Amino acid sequence: MTAPLARLGSVDLDELNAEAELQTRLDRKYIVPRGVVASVLADLPARTRVLEIDGERSLRYASQYFDTPALDSYYGAAQGRRHRFKVRARTYVDSGGSFLEVKTRAGRSATVKNRVPVEGDALDDEAVAYATDLLADAGVPGAGDLAASLEPILVTRYRRATLLLPGADGTDPSRATIDTELTWIARGGRMLRLPASVIVETKSGNRTGALDRALWRHGHRPATVSKYGTGMAALYPALPAHKWRRVLTRHFAAGEAGQAPPPTTRTTPPATARAVAA
């Protein structure tokens, strides 16, 4: 990833957020072979810039996903439930800082994301109260009980490059992320890596972004993929996963399985996953 990114201009975090914060946005996700990324990036507008922090353009991320013992978040995504949600603690490994992020559905397809600083991966009383308020505001039934029962389920690790892309007419800029070195770690320590695949996510307002158009020109179309949902389905094959079956077959089946170092949190797999796997 270093060489394709080197030709692009840089942007700092403040400017990126000022021009295209897009906390309420339309997302498209793609999973593509790592080898095609350079040619796609070469096809982007000249004014495309990449986020740079302390000289680094490909930054390390770690996300701890939380779910209930009944995996309400997973099943909400897998079954397309109306009031679905996702809760995670994201750590910016290189730049520092961890944030609790709560994602819920708003309208037909837009995602609304809110976040608050947290210490580590554990959810204290303040974090639970925060999650409760957001889930309740989104109309999630039993928000308080759900938030109180959240526990760490899955860790993802990856490197991320973030792009700021100009709009077609000089307005309505978009942003996008390119994730490499994709790794999933279950609570029992089982690990899955996808070194040959890249997840690209575009985030735009009302118009299609420049990276979407470049990917389409190179023959790539949006895919149904979720780091949490697809990762859980790959690590726990007995879970229902029809929604992600194509991606699981085309990309995750070729992943590299292994065992991660002992985690610092509980090491038993989710109760529901144990039940369906039995």
Q: Which domains does the chain have, with CATH numbers?
A: 21-277 (2.40.320.10)
Q: Which SS3 state, helix, strand or coil, does residue 100 take?
A: strand
User: In this predicted model, what pLDDT tens digit does every residue of 188-215 receive, in sequence order?
Assistant: 899 999 999 999 999 877 678 899 999 9
Selection from 131, 191, 122 nearest residue 156 by Cα: 191
Q: Is the pLDDT of residue 277 over 50?
A: no
What does DSSP assign to residue 261? Answer: P
Q: How many CB atoms lie within 10 A of CB 249?
A: 10
- Given a contact cutoff of 8 angstroms between Cβ atoms, the answer to whether 35 and 76 are in contact is no
Which pLDDT belongs to residue 174? 87
Q: Is the pLDDT of residue 100 over 70?
A: yes
Q: Is the pLDDT of residue 244 over 90?
A: yes
- How open is the CA angle 121-124-128, to the nearest 5 degrees? 100
Question: In the chain, what's the furthest Cα-to-Cα distance?
Answer: 56
Which pLDDT belongs to residue 263? 45
Q: How many CB atoms lie within 10 A of CB 39?
A: 11
- pTM of the complete model: 0.86
Its sign, for the CA torsion 88, 203, 223, 195, is negative
- How open is the CA angle 233-64-160, to the nearest 5 degrees? 90
Based on the number of CB atoms within 10 Å of its own CB, is 253 exposed (0-12), middle (13-18) or buried (19 or more)? exposed
- Given a contact cutoff of 8 angstroms between Cβ atoms, the answer to whether 178 and 159 are in contact is no
Please give the span between the terminal C-alpha atoms of the chain, in angstroms, as a whole number: 41
Which pLDDT belongs to residue 262? 62
